[in-house]
Amino acid sequence: MTPAENAELALLLEVAGTPKPGNVDRERDFPNLRFEHFLAGAVGAGTGLRSAENGAPVGEAFEEAVAGMSQQSGGNTQFGALCLLVPLVTAGEPTPDAVAEVVESTTVEDSEGFYRAFEHVDVYVDDPPDGADEFDVRRGTDAISAIREGELTLFDVMELGADEDDIAREWTNGFERTFWAGERIAELEGPLSGRGAQVYLELLAREPDTFVAKQHGKEVAESVRVRAQEALRDGPELIHAFAESLVEDGVNPGTTADIIAGGLFVALERGVSP
């Protein structure tokens, strides 16, 4: 399979994994966001992923992937995952050095594509760092003039958010958690979707999810981390109860799911077969 095909498959395998506490999976829907929306989003993103594979600039391919992903009625399904997958596909080989070279070589034009992507779908983001209001991604294309004036590459933009956002931190930290997840998925046995769900819990137990922290505060994110540790220790019954309780409370560790999609891609590219 090609890198673009493996990236699309990674998106499908990620959402098929269950249970993934707090996230849509093949056994759990949200009222306005269903399993099928993620399947459609993955298929729709394929055009942008193929553009990345064929050498399109990162920002252009990312916007195209998000535009395709958004062509379903559920809204934002995989924006964060595509932030990871587009440069991984562009890199051509699944190594930290290769993807670091891609993201560190991004341009102002890549930033423009990234900001245009916010015009296609609603994305929950936190307030920008102090002094960076003009670069607020929620401004979409209205922020492009400031990006041009400041000559901010897409890597520069990610650096602005790296202290509070794990996807941005992956960009600035060699995709460390993504590659850890890929290696861990490769070590496990069984169906890849199940391995993804297992490593999702392991990641959630290691660090608080920044999406949860943005939506509900750092104390809730830390509580989710501790509960993930307890669920891993006590087994399937508690894991399923944990999953149901997060859905009921509207707590969605979406950033962790995004990193699992990246990890699944790394495992597939390194020869793990579904």
pLDDT given for residue 136 in this prediction: 83
Domains of the chain: 3-269 (1.10.4200.10)
How much is the pLDDT for 189?
Answer: 96
pLDDT tens, the chain, 274 aa long: 999 999 999 999 999 999 999 999 998 898 899 999 999 999 999 999 999 999 999 999 999 999 999 999 999 999 999 999 999 999 999 999 999 999 999 999 999 999 999 999 999 887 777 767 888 888 888 889 999 999 999 999 999 999 889 999 999 999 999 999 999 999 999 999 999 999 999 999 999 999 999 999 999 999 999 999 999 998 888 898 998 899 888 899 999 999 999 999 999 999 999 8
Confidence at residue 131, expressed as pLDDT on a 0 to 100 scale:
67
Q: Where are the beta strands (DSSP E) in 94-175?
A: none
Tell me, letter by letter, the H, E, C secondary structure of the chain. Answer: CCHHHHHHHHHHHHHHCCCCCCCCECCECECCECHHHHHHHHHHCHHHHHHHHCCCCHHHHHHHHHHHHCCCCCCCCCHHHHHHHHHHHHHCCCCHHHHHHHHHCCCHHHHHHHHHHCCCCCCCCCCCCCCCHHHCHHHHHHHHHHHHHHCCCHHHHHHHHCCCCHHHHHHHCCCHHHHHHHHHHHHCCCCHHHHHHHHHHHHHHHCCCHHHHHHHCHHHHHHHHHHHHHHHHHCHHHHHHHHHHHHHHCCCCHHHHHHHHHHHHHHHHCCCCC
Other beta carbons within 10 angstroms of residue 165's beta carbon come to 21
Task: Evaluate whether 74 touches 33 at the Cβ level (below 8 Å).
Answer: yes
**Residue type (1 letter), 239:** I
pTM for the whole thing?
0.95
Instruction: Tell me whether residue 144 is exposed, middle or buried, using C-beta atoms within 10 angstroms of its C-beta: 0 to 12, 13 to 18, 19 or more.
Output: middle
